[in-house]
Structure 1
């Protein structure tokens, strides 16, 4: 038998070998890369070297900075801040001075942060607090830093507290529902829906808030016209519009037996005073989330990250609950507050990115403004 050797056989063999090698590389290297990535993730999530190194760098940086300027919830109070400082000293072995500015006005803090960011001026605060919409809007504007929080969180911190792709951490939460005087209203008669508040039975007995964002959590699923008609009917039934702190004062003095769309924090506060009260969900069991976020170009970025991770972690739960009456939905087994059987097995309603983006469309903004005009009677 005679073998015929073609002139280009050497090139053909070389070509096939190159193809085989490249093909093997395509098959092997991604798997190897995925394995390495999996190892890094596992190490970070299980307290491995990468996680420990990242946390150590933040701790050392915070120690050098020595101070953090933070605007935090007014409910934390100076006493709570002092407790946080002492807990950080015991945990990390150094004193971190927290320059605490209490806030009850998230929109104002958001405007300040956005104005400073656009002007390129140093942030007034290293760490700020806001609601869901405030933090997401600032993140999309670049005014707050997206952080890889995984390696910085204390063991036992639920991963769900990381908000909007690392834009912040949820430090506490609060269900919104209906607060009622259980001596004046029997539990079986308590309204279970906003529509019930338009019933003549409750004429002049209900306090409602002016906060349109809170109203929209209940009204989005209804549609524009039905929701406007409902708000108008509630107002015509004698409901009084007032802020939450004022509502609580009038409620505790016995002026009104019902406060609609108020957070559970106030319910816990009045319960702690020995008042006979109940708290139940309405149409949507909205969970408001209070989120801390690190400002872009913060002057004390390491201290801000360390404080944020601590405030969202299990070590600060007792401080939030005892000092501020602030629970955290993401720590269900560790809450010292009992909402009662009405809240068992409910499906919480959250402001997701998709819902917030829908809320920011011109059509929904106009709808929300109409709600606001009804509530303020303008």
Structure 2
């Protein structure tokens, strides 16, 4: 009887909470529409699908400035420290977001949608969202240049003589996510980590700015193998790109977050956008476009996605990122 009473009380509380949320949501939508537009800085190539949902649902145009995570970090830091932020919302990789959090770039926004996500990545102060998706990093290759049976079977295979000068990757002294990934490989490779990095540096044929140029060079056939996000296999493949990825035993992945600007000119539009992105509809749209979202049992349409073992990388602070780039510079830039 007590269990039944508790269940009834819980259901009643949820109904009342939902009913109370309806006018609050209507008020937020009305206020957001009065603000007229939204300025978004981010790094996800897939956010256009969410932008379309937001614009079609609310009639509020999104001005989306997209760049690599390092450039997003630099621009937001510069605007924040100059006291002239132009953004309402920022979305990018987890470590840069945590650096920006410490720099005072974000406002507290305890979104109800944060309850959908695990507690392990929640910010106690609600200045940034939990990680709403992760993006695995791995070995991607051009299937016109490399047959599946000839492709590397693992990271250490990249050190074989046949790959010398034929690997393309982002410059770890410039690209924060590549630096973070290389440092975190220590947890995967153990004692082989340092020798692997030193020998990998001798295999690289070109350094580029970020992960997308890696994929671009692979698609154009300039290099057979590269280190980048494996989601590009699906996203570029939709346009006929001849890409596949190596099924590693474990994939280190980059988490992504979103946050409201501390001095947003359009805070209500910013809050409404965050709610739209983190809604089930928003996350499913991202998954359908190739992202590994934080919804149980939901996978992108990438072959074997449901079989992969994915481990999210830990966050680095600003000093940690600086140390990583400096250490990796001594390895990769001395060649």
Q: What TM-score does the superposition give when structure 2 sets the normalisation length?
A: 0.77
Alignment partner, residue 66 of structure 1? 36
Whole-angstrom CA distance in 2 between matches of 1:183 and 1:73: 29
Distance 1:253 1:63, change over 3 A: closer
For these two proteins, the number of residue pairs brought into alignment is 318
CA contact (8 A) 2:39 2:86 kept: yes
Whole-angstrom CA distance in 1 between matches of 2:215 and 2:76: 31
Where do 5+ consecutive residues of structure 2 fail to align? 1-5, 172-177
Post-superposition offset of 1:188: 4.6
Distance 1:159 1:249, change over 3 A: closer
1:103 equivalent among 59, 66, 75: 66
Distance 1:208 1:105, change over 3 A: closer
Report matched runs for 1:243-258 at 5 Å.
243=209, 244-258=211-225
Alignment partner, residue 165 of structure 2? 204
Q: Secondary structure at the match of 2:100?
A: helix
Post-superposition offset of 1:376: 3.6
1:177 equivalent among 138, 145, 148: 138
Report matched runs for 1:39-54 at 5 Å.
43=14, 48-54=18-24
Distance 1:292 1:238, change over 3 A: closer
CA contact (8 A) 1:122 1:298 kept: no
Q: Secondary structure at the match of 1:58?
A: helix
CA contact (8 A) 1:83 1:319 kept: no
1:134 equivalent among 96, 104, 125: 96
Distance 1:313 1:80, change over 3 A: closer
Q: Which has the higher helix share?
A: 1
2:264 equivalent among 298, 313, 320: 298
Pairing 1:113–2:76 present: yes
Alignment partner, residue 151 of structure 2? 190
2:123 equivalent among 164, 180, 198: 164
Distance 1:83 1:366, change over 3 A: closer
Q: Secondary structure at the match of 1:269?
A: helix
Where do 5+ consecutive residues of structure 1 fail to align? 1-34, 90-94
Q: Secondary structure at the match of 1:48?
A: helix
Whole-angstrom CA distance in 2 between matches of 1:59 and 1:249: 39
CA contact (8 A) 1:106 1:134 kept: yes
Q: Secondary structure at the match of 2:64?
A: strand
Residues 206-235 of structure 1: CA distance to partner in whole angstroms, max 9, x if unpaired?
A: 222223123223235556x85343222123
Alignment partner, residue 29 of structure 1? none
Higher Rg: 1
CA contact (8 A) 1:218 1:284 kept: no
Residues 100-131 of structure 1: CA distance to partner in whole angstroms, max 9, x if unpaired?
A: 13221333333343344445x35211111221
Report matched runs for 1:178-327 at 5 Å.
178-210=139-171, 211-220=178-187, 222=189, 227-237=193-203, 239-243=205-209, 244-260=211-227, 262-282=228-248, 284-317=250-283, 320=286, 325-327=289-291
CA contact (8 A) 2:44 2:92 kept: no
Post-superposition offset of 1:85: 0.1
CA contact (8 A) 1:216 1:368 kept: no
Residues 170-199 of structure 1: CA distance to partner in whole angstroms, max 9, x if unpaired?
A: 565422111123454443553243222112
CA contact (8 A) 2:117 2:130 kept: no
Q: What TM-score does the superposition give when structure 1 sets the normalisation length?
A: 0.70
Whole-angstrom CA distance in 1 between matches of 2:13 and 2:307: 32
Q: Secondary structure at the match of 1:247?
A: helix
RMSD: 3.7
